[in-house]
Amino acid sequence: MQPRDLSDLSPYVPGRGAEEVARELGMDPADLTKLSSNENPHGPSPDAVEAIQQAAPRVGVYPKASHTDLGEKLADHWDCTPEQVWVTPGADGAIDYLSRAFLDPDDRILAPEPGFSYYRMSARYHHGAVDTYSLSKADDFAQTPDTVLDAYDGERMVYLTTPHNPTGAEFSRDAIRTLAETVADHTLIVVDEAYAEYTDAPSTIDLLDTYDNLAVLRTFSKAYGLAGLRVGYGVVPEAWADAYARVNTPFAASEVGCRAALAALDDEEHLQQTVETARWARSYLRDNLDAPTWESGGNFVLAEVGDASAVADATQRRGVIVRDCSSFGLPECIRVSCGTRETTPDAVDTINEVLAEVVA
C-alpha cells in the first residue's frame, strides 16, 4: 500500500522556531530574538488569553456556537451577512475551501512567484494545475494589472497577495478593480489580506457587493497574535456564500480559537499597539539596515544581503533568527520581521555586524 504519486508536491518551508534553533545551537530560547515568521512580538491580547483560559473547560464540546458567534461578529465588523464569512483553520483553510469549491480536476490557478507556496500546494492537493506570474526584483516587485494579465490565460483562480509576502509590495484598489473587470467570467480572484492590518489601504471586502468574482482572505495569526490557534476566514460574495456548508471541514476552527478571536476583535487598543510598533520597526529596519531594502506594507522588510543562507546562519548563531528567502526563489535576500521597540535595534546591530563580516 502506497500513497498516490506526490512527487509534484513540495513541502511547505516555515521560518525556523526559537526552540528548534536553541536545541540545535545549545542555547536558551530566551536568548534568541525570532524575526523569521512575521509573528506579533507582543503576542495575543490579554483579553484573548483570558478567553482561552475561560474556554478550556468547554473543549469537550464541538464549537458550533462559537463558530456562529465569530461569523456573526465578523459580519458585523465588515458590514456583510454572516453567510458571507467562512470561518476556517487559518487563512490556509480558506484557501483549501475555495479550492474545493471552485477547482475541477486539471483546472488551473495563477499564483505569484515568489509568493506563498500554499496557493500552489492547495491547488495540486485538489488535482488542479499551477501557472505563475513573476514579481521582478528589477522593477521592485511591482504589483500592477499588467503584472498579472501578461501571464493570465483564463485560469480558474488568480491569487493576489496584498501586502505581498515576502516583498511587502501592494496592489492598489484600482488595480484590483481592473483585474476583476478584465478576467474571464469563470475566473475567481482571491485577494489574500493576511497582512492588511499593517497598511492604510482599505480592504477589498467592500468591493464584494460590486464584483461577484472576488473572495478575500484574512487571518488572526498576524496582527491579532493568535498564530498558534490557527483561526482565519474568507469573505465571499453573497450569491455563492452557501457553498461553505458543502466544503467546510466540520468545526475546523477550535472552540478555544474562536473564543480567543472574538475577544481579540474587541481589544482595539492591543491591535493599535501592534500596528504602531510594526510600522515603527518597519521604518527602523529600512533606515538602519546596511543593505538595500524594499518598501513594505506588512510587518516585515525584505533586504538584499548577497548570500542569504550564510547571513541567516550567522545571525542566528548570534541570537537573531531571520528568514532565508531561498525557498521563495530569492537566495540573495532575507526577510526580517518587525520586532518590538526594544528588540529591533539590537537585532539590526547584529545583522549589520554579520553583513560587515560577509562583505569583508
Place 3 in a pLDDT band, splitting at 50, 70 and 90.
confident
For 258, residues 6+ apart whose C-beta sits below 8 A from its C-beta are 63, 66, 67, 69, 70, 87, 231
Q: Which stretch of 27-36, 106-115, 241-250, 297-306 has the lowest confidence by average pLDDT?
A: 27-36
Contact in structure between 102 and 188 (CB atoms under 8 Å): yes
Output phi, psi for 340, to 5 deg.
-80, 175
> What is the per-residue pLDDT for 33?
87
> What is the per-residue pLDDT for 299?
97
Mean pLDDT value across residues 191-211: 96
> What is the per-residue pLDDT for 76?
97
Task: Sheet containing 300-304: give its strands across.
Answer: 33-35, 320-324, 333-337, 300-304
% of the chain beyond a pLDDT of 70: 98
> What is the per-residue pLDDT for 32?
81
DSSP state of 15: P
CB-hemisphere CA count at 13 Å for 253? 35
Q: What is the largest CA-CA distance in the chain?
A: 60
Contact in structure between 226 and 233 (CB atoms under 8 Å): no
Give me 78's grid cell: 465588515
CB-hemisphere CA count at 13 Å for 29? 7
CA distance 8 to 1: 19
DSSP 114-171: SS-THHHHHHHHTT-EEEEEEPPGGGTT---HHHHHTT-SS-SEEEEESS-TTT----
Angle between helices 18-25 and 308-317 (to 10 degrees): 80
Mean pLDDT value across residues 76-80: 96
- Alpha helix (H) residue ranges in 189-304: 244-247, 255-266, 268-288
pLDDT, one tens digit per residue, over 221-260 is 999 999 999 999 999 999 898 899 899 888 889 999 999 9
Neighbours of 91 (CB within 10 A): 24
Residue 26 has pLDDT above 80, yes or no: no
CB-hemisphere CA count at 13 Å for 8? 13
Place 86 in a pLDDT band, splitting at 50, 70 and 90.
very high
Element (H, E) at 192: strand 188-192
Residue 338 has pLDDT above 70, yes or no: yes
Q: Which stretch of 3-17, 69-83, 322-336 has the lowest confidence by average pLDDT?
A: 3-17
Give me 191's grid cell: 485577494
CA distance 154 to 151: 10
Give me 348's grid cell: 539590526
Residue 15 has pLDDT above 90, yes or no: no
The CA R_g of the chain, rounded to the nearest whole Å, is 20
pTM of the predicted structure, to 2 decimals: 0.94
Mean pLDDT value across residues 88-95: 94
Mean pLDDT value across residues 277-302: 97
> What is the per-residue pLDDT for 110?
98
> What is the per-residue pLDDT for 278?
97
Burial 272-286 (b: 16+ CB within 10 A, else e): eebbebbbebbebbb
pLDDT, one tens digit per residue, over 136-180 is 999 999 999 999 999 999 999 999 999 999 999 999 999 999 999
Residue 16 has pLDDT above 60, yes or no: yes
Give me 1's grid cell: 500500500
Q: Mean pLDDT in the chain?
A: 93
- Specify the residue for cell string 476566514: 233
CA distance 359 to 276: 33
DSSP 226-243: -GGG--EEEE--GGGGGG
